[in-house]
Chains A and B, each alone.
Chain A
Amino acid sequence: MKSSFLAGVFLGLFAATGAAWFYPWVDQARATSLTTVAHNGGRVEDFVVRFPVDRIATTGTPEMGLRARPYPEGADLPSEMASSLLVEHFKLRDIEGNVIGIAARHSFPAEDTGETAWSLTIPRRGTMRLIGASDPGGLDRELAAAGRIDGRAWSGEVAMMLGGDESVSGRVAGGSDEFDGLGGSYTERWAITGVSEAGDLRGTINLRTTSEFPR
Chain B
Amino acid sequence: MRVLGPLLLGLVAGFALVALGIYFNPYTADSGAIAGVNARVLSYGSPLSEGIAFTHSGRTRLPLHPQSIPELWEETISDSMLSVIVLHDQDDAPVGVASRVSQFSESSEMLTRGIIVDDDWLVTIAGEGSFYVSADSNLWPFLKETLIPVWYLDRPWEGPKNYRPTAGPAEGGSAIVTGATGNFIARQGTAVESYQISEFDKERGPGDVDARFFLQWSDTTTSLAAE
Residues of chain A at the chain B interface (Cβ within 8 Å): 1-2, 4-17, 20-31, 55-57, 59, 72-78, 80-85, 87, 89, 91, 98-102, 104, 106, 108, 110, 115-119, 121-124, 127, 129, 131, 173-174, 176
Q: A21-B111, A121-B101 are in contact. Are A76 and B11 (CB under 8 A)?
A: no
Given contacts A12-B10, A12-B14, A78-B86, contact A123 B129 (CB under 8 A): no
Q: What residues make up the interface of B, taking CB atoms closer than 8 Å to A?
A: 2-19, 22, 52-53, 55, 65-66, 68-70, 72, 74-80, 82, 84, 86, 93-97, 99, 101, 103-106, 108-111, 115, 118, 120-122, 124, 126-127, 129-130, 132, 134, 178, 180-182
Asked if residues A31 and B108 are in contact (CB atoms below 8 Å), the reply is no
Are B134 and A75 neighbours in the complex by a CB distance under 8 Å?
no
Interface of B is mostly: mixed
- A136 to B46, alpha carbons, bound, how many Å? 30
Q: Residue on A with the closest CB to B64?
A: A72
Interface majority SS on A: helix, strand, loop or mixed?
mixed
Chain A residues whose CB sits within 8 angstroms of the CB of B96 once the complex forms: 85
Chain A min CB distance to B16 (Å) = 8
* A16 partner residues in chain B, CB cutoff 8 A: 14-15, 17-19
The chain B residue with its CB closest to the CB of A176 is: B134
Residue of A nearest to B130 (CB): A117
Residues on B with beta carbons closer than 8 Å to the beta carbon of A119: 99, 101, 120-122, 132
Q: Which of B22, B104, B126, B181 contacts A131 (CB 8 A)?
A: B181
**What are 24 of the A-B contact pairs (CB < 8 Å)?**
A4-B4, A7-B10, A9-B13, A12-B17, A13-B18, A15-B15, A21-B109, A22-B109, A27-B106, A28-B76, A72-B69, A75-B52, A75-B53, A83-B126, A83-B127, A89-B82, A104-B82, A104-B99, A108-B126, A108-B129, A110-B129, A117-B181, A127-B134, A176-B120
